[in-house]
Amino acid sequence: MSIRVLVVDDSALVRQLLTEILSTDKEIEVVGSAADPYIARDKIKQLKPDVLTLDVEMPRMDGLKFLENLMRLHPMPVVMVSSLTEKGADVTIAALELGAIDFVTKPKLDVERGLREYGRELIDKVKVASRARVASAKRHEGGAPVRAVPTVYKTTDRLVALGASTGGTEALRYVLAQFPPNAPAVVITQHIPGGFSRAFAQRLDRETQLTVYEASDGQPITPGHAYVAPGGYHLRVERSGARWFCRIGEDDPVNRHRPSVDVLFQSVATAAGRNAVAGILTGMGDDGARGMLALRDAGAYTLAQDEASSVVWGMPGSAVKMGAVMDIAPLDQVALRLLERAAG
């Protein structure tokens, strides 16, 4: 049975291009298109699509307002089409917070060539969105764990490593919001393209008690701080004496990703070993599973988000199947379990 897609974009050229690209896959049927949210609202009722592609910047009603209304009244999988600009990055991160499953980028110049280059990625993300748990993608409000997280740590020689992909921006925000300001240092790889990771790090910095950076090469890793891999670059942890620091690399993608969770986790296994605690969160594919196995073999505590609370259980599920995971937890227990182990 085909995945029914409605394309929403104010540009006739982009609507045509997205329709052509998606229609090349036999599993996808583009059932219609809309030039603005009001037309889209009527076509959703009429055509009953499985997935929506939605432009961030729309006439008559902006894409964020439309998305907010849609997720409240008629929740469904949405893949955002985002401009590669600073404003576009901020709006895209906000759209993920409201419940969009994922996004693809739309360049400001030579839109046709740029979109065609992202064609395979767009098709893959639409397919993943059609199977995603939309309720899990919505913003988690409040969310204090059942028991308070630890606030005292026996040693500063602890490191928390987190990896995520589809659905991960919100999952990470929710987990880190429960970390106290004196928590062990956190290193993060979220699959995200260049230009968007800084906006993501800034949002985490505003909404958590940690100081959050887009990681830079040679940056010291210290408690109370979190470091997000820059889009398009691998993040590794290296040790010098008694201290850890960030190493940023532009070497080949791993598992088709740069940044790659496997790259981060394997470096943490080498640099921190049993002093690390690691969590693998929602995401498609299997990136991070091998790195998590290396962490477990090195004596680290390893945890996977459970299937019921994941938007997509690809990455956590792969790590579980590989035998790399010591513990499985719903999202609202992830911070508590990681911090309890870090405090031990």
For 159-343, CATH gives 3.40.50.180
Checking phi first, is residue 285 left (phi over 0); if not, alpha (psi -120 to 50) or beta?
Answer: left
- DSSP letter for 196, please: T
Give, for 18, the enclosing helix (H) or strand (E). helix 12-23
The CATH superfamily assigned to 3-137 is Response regulator (3.40.50.2300)
Helices 86-98 and 168-176: crossing angle, nearest 10°?
80
Quote the CA–CA distance of 127 and 10 in Å, as a whole number: 23
pLDDT attached to residue 344: 74
Positions marked active-site: 165, 191, 287
Q: Which amino acid appears at position 35 of this protein? A: A
Q: Which residue ranges make up each domain of the chain?
A: 3-137, 159-343
Residue 32 pLDDT: 97
What 8-state DSSP symbol labels residue 141?
P
In this prediction, residue 156 carries a pLDDT of: 64
What pLDDT is stored for residue 35 in this prediction?
Answer: 94
Looking at residue 337, its pLDDT comes to 96
Question: Is 159-343 in the same CATH topology as 3-137?
Answer: yes
CB 315 within 8 A of CB 307: no
Specify whether the CB–CB gap between 175 and 183 falls below 8 A: no
Kindly report the number of other CB atoms within 10 A of residue 5's CB atom. Answer: 26
Question: What pLDDT tens digit does each residue of the chain (344 aa) get?
Answer: 899 999 999 989 999 999 999 999 999 999 999 999 999 999 999 999 999 999 887 777 788 899 999 999 999 999 998 876 667 788 889 999 999 999 988 877 787 787 888 889 999 999 999 999 886 444 455 444 445 677 666 666 899 999 999 999 999 999 999 999 999 999 999 999 888 999 999 999 999 999 999 999 999 999 999 999 999 999 999 999 889 999 999 999 999 999 999 999 999 999 999 999 999 999 999 999 999 999 999 999 999 999 999 999 999 999 999 999 999 999 999 999 999 999 87
Q: What is the pLDDT of residue 136?
A: 46
| DSSP per residue, 75-116 | ---EEEEEESSHHHHHHHHHHHHHT--EEEEE-SSSHHHHHH
Rg (CA), the chain: 20
Instruction: List, as one string, the DSSP characters of 209-268.
Output: SSEEEE--TT-EE-TTEEEEPPTTSEEEEEEETTEEEEEEE----BTTBSS-HHHHHHHH
End-to-end CA distance of the chain: 50
Our CA angle for 79, 85, 86, nearest 5°, is: 105
The token duo for 36 is 């603005």
Provide the pLDDT for residue 201.
Answer: 97
pTM passes above 0.75:
yes
